[in-house]
Amino acid sequence: MKPESEIRNRIAEIVPDALFMDGYDDCIVGLVRRFAMESVVVYDEAKAIQKLMADGASQEEAEEFFEYNQIGAWMGEKSPFFLTWATQLCEGMLPVMDEQEEPSEKKLKFLL
C-alpha cells in the first residue's frame, strides 16, 4: 500500500465520512479540527496546483482549474480545506483577492 493510501485510510478511520479529492492523496497535509464540528481533510494548495501542472496544465490553467473545481467544489461543511504554508507567505506567494473586482468575480492572485 502506498503511503498516501495509508494516510487516507487512517483519516477515514478517524473521520469516517471525511471528503477526499480522488487522485490527490499525496497532497494531503492532515486534518483541521474545529470546535463543535467534525475534523476536515486539509490539502496543500501549492502541491495540488503543481500536480495539475505535472499532468500537463499551464500554471494559469492549473490555477483556474484549482479555483473552479477544487476550492469551488463546495460540498458542505465537510469540504476540504486548502493550506497555504507560512513559508510561502514569507516568500511573497501570498494569495490575495483582487478587491477591485465584484465579489462574484474575485480571483485568487499571488503577490510576488
pLDDT tens digits, one per residue of 83-97 = 988 776 676 654 544
Residue 92's pLDDT is 60
Sign of CA dihedral 78, 80, 85, 88: negative
Residues 93/111, Cβ–Cβ less than 8 Å: yes
pLDDT, one tens digit per residue, over 59-80 is 999 999 999 999 998 899 999 9
Parse the chain into domains and list their residue ranges.
Answer: 3-85
| Higher-pLDDT residue of 60, 3 | 60
Residues 80/43, Cβ–Cβ less than 8 Å: yes
Q: Which residues contact residue 32 at a Cβ distance below 8 angstroms, ignoring those fewer than 6 apart? A: 39, 40, 42, 81
Closest-CA residue to 80 (of 35, 105, 48, 112): 48
Q: Which three cell numbers stand for residue 16?
A: 469516517
